Chains A and B, each alone.
Chain A
Amino acid sequence: MAEYACLVVEDSAMMRQLLVFALARIKKLKVTEAEDGVDGLRKLAQGQFDLIITDINMPIMDGLKLVKRVRSDEKHKDVPIIIITTEGSTEDRQRAMSLGANAYIAKPIQAPQVIAKVKELLDIR
């Protein structure tokens, strides 16, 4: 029985699958997928999530706008957000963190790194 719900927002199907595969290793976690920011907002409106993982560069609504919208949403304003960035240190990452993201993972992503970060934010032993 899953104890935590995680929303993965990523436009690349390949990357999404990679993230879902990594997160499947955390047994207490149920993962929901969204293809972009708008789809992410739709999924957020339909459910309750304990964690959001979002890419920054996405069509229609990018990760930065999504972070901003989530932080202004009463229902999910306190939900931890992990952003996935291309660069090790960029303005986008700094901006996302200033908008309220809790952590970041730089590409190319590694499953152990994702798992560790998620466990840390959800306080899963």
Chain B
Amino acid sequence: MSDEKETDSAASGPSSAGDSSGVLEGVQEREAFVRTFLRKGMEFTEDLLRENESLRADLDRLRVENGRLRTQVASDEAIRDLLRTVEGLEEERTRLLERSSELEASRRQQVDLYGEIEREMNDLANLYIASHHLHTSLSVSSVVQHLRDMVHQLVGAECFVIYLVDADGLRARPIAQAELDPSTLEPIVLDGHPLGDACLTGLPRIRESNLDAGSLDDPLAIIPLLADGKAVGVVSIISLLEQKGDWAEVDRALFRLLGAQAGTALIAANLYSAVPSPGEALADLGQKLDVSALNNPEGAK
């Protein structure tokens, strides 16, 4: 405002002084302009400095933020690495579990197979031992005793009768028994009796259910003892030992063995008992084994 007043008073002076006052006014205007310019420049510079200061502060803040973000990114990368590792380990674990399951299944299979082989071996041993004893006995009583052992100890029969079939095939006479009073046992007329049917057909009759309800007239198992296709004896099983609930597979094999071999073992032992010594039992063997007989096996009979 003071500058403007000076300008106004200068303008109201005489004309000679008017030129100089005009110059003065020009100078004053320039000075005012310069002062204004400088003031504005100073203000602008101050604004720039403030702005610069603010930008520096922002820059520092952004640097800090950037550092934090960099750390976070590194951390995230590490987590991603860990997750990838965990995923890989999970896959490995799954693969190992599958392999473990396969091995376990294989192991169970081997155990089952081993158990099956054990049972097979046990069954074969039973059959071998039974057959061995039947055929190495040279007395009828021994053969009958082995028959008893087979039926009682190997099969597990509690009550049973062993019969011999008469030469005419009409009757069966008891020769051994277990858990029965011998005086109560009588010869059986085979015609019309279950034992007769088995002897006639040569086929064993084995009951598959109600194994706790056998009787002399309706046994649990009837095994005809064959020789040359003809029944020479028969085993009748009335009851089983308490702990034996059902037939085992080896029982059926033992029945087949009994049916096929016990009859001939009885006949062989009976024939052997008629001679005084093993040497005499073979005395006429040479005659039977002449060359013509060897060349014609049918003729040797």
Partner of A12, one of B132, B149, B158, B244: B149
Closest 7 A/B residue pairs (Cβ): A88-B243, A108-B156, A111-B122, A14-B149, A88-B242, A21-B125, A14-B133
- B126 to chain A minimum Cβ distance, whole angstroms, is 7
Interface secondary structure of B, over-half rule:
helix
Q: Please tell me if the beta carbons of B244 and A108 are within 8 angstroms of each other in the complex.
A: yes
Q: What's the minimum C-beta distance from A108 to chain B, rounded to whole angstroms?
A: 4
The verdict on A22 contacting chain B, using a C-beta distance below 8 Å, is: yes
| Residue A77 is within 8 A (CB to CB) of chain B in the complex | no
Complex CA gap A89/B129 in Å reads 27
Known: A13-B133, A14-B149, A21-B125. A112 touches B242 (CB 8 A): no
Given A17-B129, A22-B125, the answer on whether A107 and B156 have CB atoms closer than 8 Å is: yes
Can you report 29 A-B residue pairs in the complex whose CB atoms are below 8 A from each other?
A: A12-B149, A12-B153, A13-B133, A14-B133, A14-B146, A14-B153, A14-B154, A17-B132, A18-B125, A18-B153, A18-B154, A21-B125, A21-B129, A22-B125, A87-B243, A88-B243, A106-B241, A106-B243, A107-B153, A108-B155, A108-B156, A108-B241, A108-B244, A109-B153, A111-B118, A112-B115, A112-B118, A112-B119, A112-B122
User: Taking the nearest CB of chain A, how far is it from the CB of B103, in angstroms?
Assistant: 22
A108 adjacent to B154 (CB under 8 Å) = yes
Known A-B contacts: A14-B150, A108-B153. Give 13 more (CB < 8 A): A12-B149, A14-B130, A14-B146, A18-B153, A21-B125, A22-B122, A86-B158, A106-B243, A107-B152, A108-B241, A108-B244, A111-B118, A111-B125
Report the Cα distance A106→B126, complex, angstroms. 16
Q: Which of B196-253 contact A (CB under 8 A)?
A: 241-244
Name A111's closest neighbour in chain B (CB-CB): B122
Cα(A111)–Cα(B154), bound, Å: 11
CB pair A15 B149 closer than 8 Å: yes
B5 to chain A, nearest CB (A): 125
B185 at interface (Cβ–Cβ under 8 A)?
no
Interface residues on A, range: 10 to 19
User: How many chain B residues touch A (Cβ–Cβ < 8 Å)?
Assistant: 24
Q: What residues of B have a CB within 8 angstroms of the CB of A14 in the complex?
A: 129-130, 133, 146, 149-150, 153-154
Query: Which chain B residues have a beta carbon within 8 Å of chain A's beta carbons?
Result: 115, 118-119, 121-122, 125-126, 129-130, 132-133, 146, 149-150, 152-156, 158, 241-244
Contacts of A88 in B (CB 8 A): 241-243
A80 → chain B, closest Cβ, in Å? Answer: 22
Please name all residues of chain B whose beta carbon is closer than 8 Å to the beta carbon of A112 when the two chains form the complex: 115, 118-119, 122
Encode contact with B along A109-122: 1 for CB under 8 Å, 0 otherwise.
11110000000000
Q: How far is the CA of A17 from the CA of B136 in the complex (A)?
A: 14
Q: In whole angstroms, how far apart are the Cα atoms of A110 and B125 in the complex? A: 10
